């Protein structure tokens, strides 16, 4: 492999001096991923995108998925998600990978947003025949200048076989192994001069994809929010990713001579520290930021909370108190901002820290079932993915397997405890007692708002 990397670098050095910027065989693919509704950066992105387009007419803009969930002004717009689709249309995105968070508003809304989009959303490892979603194509070939570029996509699925979203959003949809499925499209190499893996798999899986295939020239990835400053080349595949939240714009430059790629390079442009903004885009964005419902004050916070470890306590208290439960658990992954500032708490803050609209669910669990919940939610990296209002440590055995769970207070083995979880945790983990959980008819973000209101 080392051999191949040196070879490619040598090639790049040789040809970068041969070609001028405006050579017709130069293709520039600008890319973002995991935008999660961060439309506020579009006004800064526009001048950068314009300058790339002005420098090379054979340039295009693409996205590697997760357009939605993370900005309440987008998530809670009257047509959920519409603002980012509108801005992507204005900026002339040509194509996007399907991300796991695209399902967060439900199938009907995703289909509506697909209808609004002037760009195509692709995914190869999905079958939608029995769902509300119209067929999603696995790949698309786009002609730019004299060159044809094939984009093929795949979506990360968990060991259970589903992408990370609420399972109830996936009714009737089937998923196959993304790497295996993408591998079946080797023939794309014969129909296009460049094959791009426009994936939503995460950096680790992108590396596996590059190892297991030999027809993908570059992977533009997403999902892991990885800032790849210096892309690596595996098996002659360049692996790129541009962080998240529109902080970076990736610029992939590919040069072709006699239908062969002779140069490829990806660089990231930092958008956050750009001064220049586009006035027209700013106006469009500002319009979407008018939302009195989000500006209302719902409570007060006595001190600033920093990091998931501190913020999680609010979730644990709110879940327990609003559902009158004895024990609560919360998944760290559901906490979506890292600071809650002291002072007035607005609805905006609540929907920012908890954007997913999960329901709360309760059940009477035995100690054995609570232990099963704790063990099953322990990650493959041997880390807690959830934490509880009851504190506990998990013993790790020498062979790396999970040993006993030690609580900081004695639990009664003959008693059942009322436990509250969000629906994401219930539906994502197959622990003992899982089927006992019933919907408490309260959204977790509404529980947080109620908790703050009642404290006032």
DSSP letters spanning 440-456: EEEEHHHHHHHHHHHH-
DSSP strand pairing (139-144 vs 438-443):
unpaired
Comparing every residue's Cβ against Zn ion, the nearest one is 223
Least gap, CB of 74 to Zn ion (angstroms) = 16
* Binding segment (CB under 5 A) for Zn ion, from list 95-103, 240-248, 381-389, 413-421: 95-103
> Any contact of residue 206 with Zn ion (CB under 5 A)?
no
Q: For Zn ion, give the closer residue by CB, 138 or 222.
A: 222
> Any contact of residue 354 with Zn ion (CB under 5 A)?
no
Least gap, CB of 10 to Zn ion (angstroms) = 35
Contacts of 140 by beta carbon, 8 Å cutoff, 6+ apart: 95, 120, 122, 150, 151
Q: For Zn ion, give the closer residue by CB, 243 or 388.
A: 243
Whether the CB-CB separation of 125 and 157 falls below 8 Å is answered with: yes
SS3 content of the chain, % helix, strand, coil (to 5): 35, 30, 40
**Cα–Cα distance, 366 to 187 (Å, whole number):** 55
Q: For Zn ion, give the closer residue by CB, 70 or 388.
A: 70
- How many angstroms from the chain centroid is the CA of residue 356? 12
Q: For Zn ion, give the closer residue by CB, 68 or 319.
A: 68
DSSP letters spanning 359-377: EEEEEEE-HHHHHHHHHHT
Q: How many residues bind Zn ion (CB under 5 A)?
A: 4
In order of 34, 86, 100, 126, 322, the CA distances from 129 in angstroms are 27, 27, 18, 10, 40
Least gap, CB of 443 to Zn ion (angstroms) = 22
Least gap, CB of 63 to Zn ion (angstroms) = 12
Task: Find the binder of Zn ion among 96, 100, 236, 325 (CB under 5 A).
Answer: 100
Give me the 209-228 binding string for Zn ion, x by CB under 5 A, dash otherwise: --------------x-----
The gap between the terminal CA atoms of the chain, to the nearest Å, is 62
145: alpha, beta or left, given left = phi > 0 and alpha = psi -120 to 50?
left
Give me the 54-73 binding string for Zn ion, x by CB under 5 A, dash otherwise: ------------x-------
Least gap, CB of 99 to Zn ion (angstroms) = 5
* Binding segment (CB under 5 A) for Zn ion, from list 68-76, 96-104, 285-293, 319-327: 96-104
Q: For Zn ion, give the closer residue by CB, 220 or 298.
A: 220
Residue ranges that bind Zn ion, judged by CB under 5 A = 66, 99-100, 223
């Amino acid at each position: 492999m080392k051999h191949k990397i040196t070879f490619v670098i040598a090639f790049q050095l040789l040809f970068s001096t041969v070609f001028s910027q405006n050579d017709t065989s130069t293709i520039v693919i600008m890319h973002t991923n995991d935008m999660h509704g961060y439309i506020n950066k579009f006004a800064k992105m526009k001048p950068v995108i314009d300058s790339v387009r002005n420098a090379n007419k054979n340039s295009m803009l693409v996205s590697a998925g997760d357009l939605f969930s993370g900005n309440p002004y987008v998530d809670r717009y009257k047509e959920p998600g519409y603002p980012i689709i509108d801005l992507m249309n204005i900026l002339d995105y040509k194509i996007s990978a399907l991300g796991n968070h695209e399902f967060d508003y439900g199938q009907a809304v995703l289909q509506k947003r697909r209808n609004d989009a002037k760009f195509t959303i692709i995914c190869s490892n999905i079958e939608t025949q029995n769902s509300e979603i119209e067929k999603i194509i696995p790949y698309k070939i786009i002609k730019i200048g004299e060159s044809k570029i094939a984009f093929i996509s795949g979506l990360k699925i968990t060991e259970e076989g589903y992408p990370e979203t609420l399972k109830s959003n996936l009714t009737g949809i089937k998923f196959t192994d993304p790497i295996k499925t993408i591998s079946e499209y080797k023939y794309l190499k014969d129909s296009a001069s460049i094959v791009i893996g426009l994936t939503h798999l995460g950096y680790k899986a992108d590396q596996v994809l590059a190892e297991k295939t030999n027809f993908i020239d570059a992977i533009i990835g997403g999902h892991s929010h990885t800032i790849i400053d210096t892309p690596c080349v595996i098996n002659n595949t360049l692996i790129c990713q541009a962080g998240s939240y529109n902080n970076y714009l990736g610029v992939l430059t590919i040069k072709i001579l006699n239908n062969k790629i002779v140069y490829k390079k990806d660089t990231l442009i930092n958008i956050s520290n750009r001064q220049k903004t586009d006035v027209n885009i700013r106006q469009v964005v500002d319009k979407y930021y008018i939302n009195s419902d989000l500006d209302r004050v719902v409570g007060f916070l006595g001190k600033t909370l920093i990091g998931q470890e501190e913020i999680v306590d609010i979730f644990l208290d709110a879940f327990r108190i609003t559902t009158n439960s004895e024990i609560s658990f919360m998944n760290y992954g559901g906490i979506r901002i890292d600071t809650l500032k002291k002072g007035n708490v607005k609805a905006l803050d609540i929907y920012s820290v908890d954007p997913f609209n999960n329901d709360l669910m309760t059940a009477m669990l035995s100690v054995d079932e609570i232990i099963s919940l704790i063990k099953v939610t322990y990650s493959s990296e041997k880390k807690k993915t959830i934490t509880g209002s009851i504190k506990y440590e998990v013993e790790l055995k020498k062979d790396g397997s999970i040993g006993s769970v030690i609580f900081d207070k004695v639990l009664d083995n003959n008693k059942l405890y009322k436990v509250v979880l969000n629906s994401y945790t219930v539906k994502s983990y197959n622990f003992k007692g899982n089927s006992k959980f019933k919907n408490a008819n309260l959204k977790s973000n509404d529980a947080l708002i109620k908790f703050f209101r009642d404290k006032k």
